[in-house]
């Protein structure tokens, strides 16, 4: 939804920043065209209140989750397939019954990373999931309503159905569970 035909070949972060600035010139947007790894990830998270992950491969998703758990930052993860999508909000550092992290839900699942490139995604679907992520982000920052934390919202675009699933923390999760006592 952020991109137009003229953006073909442009860096996503830069084309996205242009589109968002056109939408609201009062927002301060800082595009960072760098590859995410352990080092850059830590620097990127410094001073950040909330992370939204819309990356297109599992390795990056798991890396973002590990970084967020370690830095105690809440994470909103959104994903789209061909005709379906999902959103989750994870903040294991806050404890309680909704303390799952992304890994508790996804496990080691690697899945197919090239589905988007091979089969494509309906553009409208990225708008649906992206807008839901934005809504959850605004709610989280404003402390409004009931957040999605501890749940997963799954959208079946072909059948126009939403499902809301509970995500439980995995006591043996290698990312967010406390190390077992010897």
Binding site for Zn ion (CB under 5 A): 101, 103-104, 173, 175-176
Identify whether the C-beta of residue 81 lies closer than 8 Å to the C-beta of residue 56.
no
CA proximity to 101, closest of 131, 137, 67, 139: 67
Distance CA(131)–CA(125), nearest Å, equals 10
CA angle centred on 91, ends 90 and 96, rounded to 5° = 110
Residue 170 beta carbon to Zn ion: minimum distance, rounded to whole angstroms: 5
Taking the complex as a whole, the smallest distance from the CB of residue 37 to Zn ion amounts, in Å, to: 21
Least Cα distance to 94 among 53, 164, 163, 143 occurs for 143
* Minimum gap (Å) between residue 90 Cβ and Zn ion: 8
Q: For 145, which DSSP code?
A: S
What's the closest the beta carbon of residue 150 comes to Zn ion, in angstroms?
12
């Amino acid at each position: 939804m952020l991109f137009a035909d003229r953006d073909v070949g442009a860096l996503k972060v830069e084309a996205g920043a242009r589109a968002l600035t056109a939408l609201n010139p009062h927002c301060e947007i800082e595009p960072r065209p760098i590859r995410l790894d352990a080092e850059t990830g830590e620097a990127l998270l410094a001073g950040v209140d909330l992370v939204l992950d819309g990356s297109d491969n599992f390795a990056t998703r798991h890396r973002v989750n590990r970084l967020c758990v370690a830095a105690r930052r809440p994470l909103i993860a959104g994903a789209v397939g061909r005709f379906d999508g999902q959103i989750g909000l994870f903040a294991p550092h806050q404890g309680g019954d909704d303390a799952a992290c992304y890994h508790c839900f996804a496990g080691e699942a690697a899945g197919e990373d090239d589905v988007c490139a091979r089969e494509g995604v309906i553009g409208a679907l990225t708008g649906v999931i992206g807008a839901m992520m934005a809504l959850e982000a605004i709610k989280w920052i404003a402390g409004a309503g009931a957040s999605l934390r501890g749940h997963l919202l799954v959208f079946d675009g072909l059948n126009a159905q939403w499902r809301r699933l509970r995500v439980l923390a995995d006591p043996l999760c290698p990312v967010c569970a406390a190390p077992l006592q010897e």
